[in-house]
């Protein structure tokens, strides 16, 4: 059955898909999360929020709409505090299963216990009324809300894209429709219009009483030729690049600030309902510079390049202590012979990352990776601390226990080392290295 894209099950069933996936959406790498929840973005946004709070002269509530893992909120709370801002951060999501997982995550629960963070089930398109200055964070949210598909023909006629998802691959059909103001001036092509994002902005403006700032971090559109069908990313749920130019035309009553340079990969956009000179100044100086995109580009270059200590360390020192990026670049760092100064810089990074590590089950065991890097540098206490976190978060893996035992033994903590080996042998009684070491150490 052919349906206009925004009314198709791809979008109308999106919340059920997220509810069904729960945290698996991120822990199994189905939906990307690193860019939109990174400490650098939290830092940029904290600065923008502080500027906005100065403009409006009242306390602000920050709502992360579609909060996913909650990792952004975890980074944001201390960054707001560091700027002396008394703001409550609300982690809001349409999927109750996410809400439950967020409130049970120990680091978020600890922040909630101090009153700095709360949790809410919220539909971005039908929010509950609220008063006071509010900042809405929409990170990979607008790409997940309904999009309509239009085709402009070479003669300027506008057609609407209808999709039949019961066919594999999906079948598309195009039917004549009225001209659309948000597409005016466009040449021939196929376009996705973020009608859901426009509906969300309209709902926020009419439901929330008080000055609003919305910060949207999302991917942009990949241009499509006139005869190509629209491009949707499929990751059990679907998402579409956000046409912020079309969105700005649809967003009545909002002032749109776009980034200094356009990108179809990732960009931060700001929408405000009030005059905000401090915010605008901060936008020019920082928010609009798309630092997260540059970070990602540099990260990908470094992953692909021959390891270079100065380049890797210099980069990591700009990430605001992002443990995930550090863990991913750690194998490269472990290949290098570092001089004493470089080793000292890496140990500082490994130590500082401890405070910034947010735990949710994911494919990469970040604490283990950081533990073996610290171990290789001879920073044994630090290695032991990271191994301990790996055991707590990911369970008693033999390689973690073995490395823990080796670090403890080097520090002369023979009893602790033997105890770690015994735990390992309970799980894997025939582990040859553990058996040999336990024999050797317990008879010494
Ligand atoms: C692609 S994920 C992004 C998660 C997180 N913001 C991030 O950047 O990692 C989209 C999130 O939005 C939520 N979501 C989808 N539709 C929503 C709606 N109408 N209102 C609120 N949340 C919604 C989903 O449950 C999911 O957690």
268, 290, 312: which is the final residue of a domain? Answer: 290
Give distance in angstroms: CA of 33 to centre of ligand 1: 11
- My answer on whether 248 and 216 are in the same domain is yes
Is the CB of residue 125 below 6 angstroms from any atom belonging to ligand 1? yes
Q: Once rounded to an integer, what is the mean pLDDT over residues 151-173? A: 95
Task: Report CA(15)–ligand 1 centroid distance (Å).
Answer: 8
**212 and 350 together in one domain:** no
Domain that holds residue 326: 294-443
Q: Which atom of ligand 1 is nearest to the CA of 35?
A: 8
For residue 291, how far is its CA from the centre of ligand 1 (angstroms)? 23
Q: What CATH number is given to the structural domain containing 311? A: 1.25.40.10
Contact 279, 272 (CB under 8 A): yes
- DSSP class of 128: P
Q: In the structure encoding, which two tokens stand for residue 231, read together?
A: 């491009």
Which domain-ending residue is among 290, 311, 336?
Answer: 290
Instruction: With CA atoms as reference, report the closest residue to 55 among 258, 257, 274.
Output: 274
Q: Which helix (H) or strand (E) covers residue 257, if one does?
A: strand 255-257
Tell me, what's the pLDDT at 27? 86
Say how many Å lie between the CA of residue 275 and the centre of ligand 1.
28
Q: Are residues 270 and 342 in the same domain?
A: no
Instruction: Work out which ligand 1 atom sits closest to the CA atom of 26.
Output: 9
Residue 15 pLDDT level (bands cut at 50, 70, 90): confident
Q: Please say whether the beta carbons of 325 and 356 come within 8 A.
A: no
Find out whether 358 and 71 touch, Cβ atoms under 8 Å: yes
Residue in 10, 36, 66, 96 to alter for ligand 1 test, most ligand atoms within 8 A of Cβ: 66
Cα-based torsion angle of the residue sequence 310, 315, 319, 325 in order, rounded to the nearest 10 degrees: -90
Residues 313 and 246 in one domain: no
Domain co-membership, 260 together with 356: no
Q: How confident is the model at residue 305 (pLDDT cuts 50, 70, 90)?
A: very high
d(CA 92, ligand 1 centre) in Å: 9
Residue 86 has what pLDDT? 84
Residue 443 has a pLDDT of 85
**Residue 169 clears pLDDT 80, i.e. is over it:** yes
pLDDT score for 291: 96
* Model pLDDT for residues 59-75, shown as the tens digit of each residue: 999 999 999 999 999 99
- Within 10 A of 222 (CB to CB), how many other CB atoms are there? 14
Q: What value does the mean pLDDT of the chain take?
A: 95
Pick the residue whose CA is nearest to atom 13 on ligand 1: 66
315-366: pLDDT as tens digits: 999 999 999 999 999 999 999 999 999 999 999 999 999 999 999 888 899 9
70: CA distance to ligand 1 center in Å?
A: 11
Kindly give the distance from the C-alpha atom of residue 297 to the centroid of ligand 1, in angstroms, as a whole number.
24
Cα(161) to ligand 1 centroid in Å equals 25
CB of 36 sitting under 6 A from ligand 1: yes
Distance from Cα 51 to the centre of ligand 1, integer Å: 26
Give the residue from 290, 314, 349 where a domain finishes: 290
How many domains, the chain? 2
pLDDT of residue 316: 98
Task: Kindly state whether residues 275 and 341 are assigned to the same domain.
Answer: no
Q: Which residue from 22, 141, 200 has its CB within 8 A of the most atoms of ligand 1, so it is best to mutate?
A: 141
Q: Which of 61, 205, 57, 202 is nearest to 134 (CA)?
A: 61
pTM of the model: 0.96
Amino acid 317: pLDDT: 97
Which protein residue's CA is at the shortest distance from atom 5 of ligand 1? 68
Q: Which of 36, 93, 198 for a ligand 1 pocket mutation test, highest count of atoms within 8 Å of Cβ?
A: 93
Any ligand 1 atom below 6 A from CB of 93:
yes
pLDDT above 80: residue 444:
no
Residues 371 and 266 in one domain: no
On whether both 336 and 188 belong to a single domain, the answer is no
Calculated CA dihedral for residues 338, 339, 345, 346, nearest 10 degrees: 20
For ligand 1, atom 3, name the residue with the nearest CA: 140
User: What secondary structure letter does DSSP report for 272?
Assistant: E
Q: Torsion-angle region of residue 252: left (phi > 0), alpha (psi -120 to 50) or beta?
A: beta
- Sign, Cα dihedral of 205, 209, 211, 216: negative
Ramachandran angles phi, psi of 385, nearest 5°: -60, -45
CATH number at residue 15: 3.40.50.12710
Same domain, 141 and 277: yes
Most confident of 168-172, 222-226, 369-373: 369-373
pLDDT at 376 over 80: yes
Q: Assess whether the C-beta atom of 95 lies below 6 angstroms from ligand 1.
A: yes
Banded pLDDT at 235 (limits 50, 70, 90)? confident
**Higher pLDDT among residues 17 and 402, named by residue:** 402
Pocket test for ligand 1, best of 144, 147, 218, 241 (most atoms within 8 A of CB): 144
Give the residue, by CA position, lying nearest to ligand 1 atom 17: 94
pLDDT > 70 in the chain, percent: 100
Q: How far is the CA of 191 from the centre of ligand 1 (A)?
A: 23
Averaged pLDDT, 145-150: 97
- Under the phi-then-psi rule, with left for phi > 0, alpha for psi from -120 to 50, and beta for the rest, what region is 338? beta
- On whether both 159 and 190 belong to a single domain, the answer is yes
Tell me what the mean pLDDT of segment 20-27 comes to.
88
- Spatial distance between the Cα atoms of 287 and 108, rounded to a whole number of angstroms: 26
The CB of 15 under 6 Å from ligand 1? The reply is yes
Same domain, 161 and 279: yes
304 lies in the same domain as 393? yes
Strands (E), 15-115: 61-65, 88-93
| Paired tokens of 19 | 């509810």
């Amino acid at each position: 059955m052919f349906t206009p894209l925004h009314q198709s099950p791809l979008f109308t069933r999106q919340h059920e898909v997220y509810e069904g996936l729960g945290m698996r959406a991120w822990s199994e790498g189905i939906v990307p999360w690193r860019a939109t929840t990174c400490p650098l973005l939290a830092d940029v946004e904290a600065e923008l929020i502080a500027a906005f709070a100065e403009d409006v002269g009242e306390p602000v509530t920050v709502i992360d709409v579609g909060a996913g893992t909650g990792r952004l909120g975890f980074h944001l709370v201390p960054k707001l505090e560091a700027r002396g801002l008394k703001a409550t951060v609300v982690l809001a999501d349409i999927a109750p299963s996410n809400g439950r997982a967020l409130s049970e995550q120990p680091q978020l629960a600890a922040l909630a216990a101090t009153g700095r963070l709360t949790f809410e089930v919220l539909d971005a398109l039908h929010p509950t009324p609220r008063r006071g200055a509010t900042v809405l964070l929409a990170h990979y949210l607008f790409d997940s809300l309904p999009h309509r598909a239009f085709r402009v023909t070479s003669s300027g006629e506008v057609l609407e894209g209808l999709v039949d998802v019961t066919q594999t691959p999906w079948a598309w059909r195009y039917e004549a429709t009225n001209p659309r103001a948000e597409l005016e001036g466009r040449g021939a092509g196929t376009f996705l219009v973020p009608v859901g994002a426009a509906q969300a902005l309209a709902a926020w403006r009419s439901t929330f009483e008080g000055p609003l700032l919305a910060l949207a971090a999302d991917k942009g559109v990949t241009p499509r030729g006139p005869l190509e069908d629209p491009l949707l990313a499929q990751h059990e749920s679907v998402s579409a690049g956000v046409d912020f130019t079309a969105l700005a035309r649809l967003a009545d009553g909002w002032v749109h600030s776009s980034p200094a340079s356009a990108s179809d990969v990732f960009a931060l956009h700001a929408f405000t309902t009030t005059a905000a000179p401090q915010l605008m100044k901060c936008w020019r100086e920082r928010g609009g510079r798309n630092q997260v995109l540059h970070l990602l580009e540099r990260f990908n270059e470094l992953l692909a390049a021959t390891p270079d200590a100065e380049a890797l360390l210099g980069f990591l020192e700009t990430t605001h202590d992002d443990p995930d990026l550090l863990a991913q670049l750690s194998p490269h760092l472990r290949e290098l012979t570092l001089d004493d100064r470089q080793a000292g810089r890496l140990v500082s990074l490994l130590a500082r990352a401890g405070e910034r590590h947010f735990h949710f089950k994911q494919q990469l065991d970040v604490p283990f990776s950081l533990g073996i890097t610290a171990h290789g540098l001879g920073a044994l206490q630090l290695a032991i601390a990271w191994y301990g976190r790996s055991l707590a978060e990911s369970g008693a893996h033999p390689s973690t226990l073995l490395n823990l035992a080796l670090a403890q033994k080097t520090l002369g903590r023979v009893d602790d080392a033997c105890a770690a080996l015994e735990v390992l042998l309970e799980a894997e009684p025939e582990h040859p290295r553990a058996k040999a070491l336990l024999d050797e150490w317990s008879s010494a």
